[in-house]
Each structure stands twice: as C-alpha cells, then as structure tokens.
Amino acid sequence: MSDVPGAVGTAAQAARLRVDWPACRARGLCAELLPEVVSVDEWGYPVVERPVPRRLLALAAEAADACPHRALRLLDPPHPTAPTYGGSRT
C-alpha cells in the first residue's frame, strides 16, 4: 500500500528504520522527531511501528541523522527488479 494515490508499491518495498540496540541509549529523540512511525516503550527505547511512508522519508532521514549515538538507520527499500532469494532454485 502506498501513501501516494495511484502509486504502485507495497509495505515490503517501503523504507524501514532499524535500531542498533547496543548503541541506543533510549533518549527518545527519534520518537519526538518521527512520532508517526516511532514510539517509545516503558524504558524509553524506540519501537518502530511500521515502514516509513514516502511522505515521511525526509523526516526519517533527519531522525536518523539526529540520533546522538547513531543508533537509528534508515534502510532504503529494495529495488523493484532486485532478485529475491526466498524462492526455490531451478
């Protein structure tokens, strides 16, 4: 599903945020900058709720750049023609 009307895409093709748990110090800045995607648990650690919608990519990149311990990374979506390795080989 896409955030742009008429655009083709699925959640599997969306950009995602990844937390480097050993580096994270639970400051919560990512959740403040991107509450549409990131919340915090009872200890203050980030919980990434869903893939990053296209309309929020710039904010997600800003949140990753603002992390004081570089514990948040924005992963690009896979290229639509990239091979997938989940199937059987013939």
Look at residues 54, 61, 74, 58 and name the one whose alpha carbon lies nearest to residue 9.
54
Any idea where the domains of the chain sit in the sequence? 14-75
Whether the model clears a pTM of 0.75, i.e. scores above it, the answer is no
Answer whether residue 28 shows pLDDT above 90.
Answer: yes
Answer whether residue 18 shows pLDDT above 70.
Answer: yes
Give tens-digit pLDDT for 33-68.
999 999 999 999 999 999 999 999 999 999 999 999
CATH of domain 14-75: 3.30.70.20
Please report the pLDDT score of residue 45 as a whole number: 96
Please report the pLDDT score of residue 20 as a whole number: 96
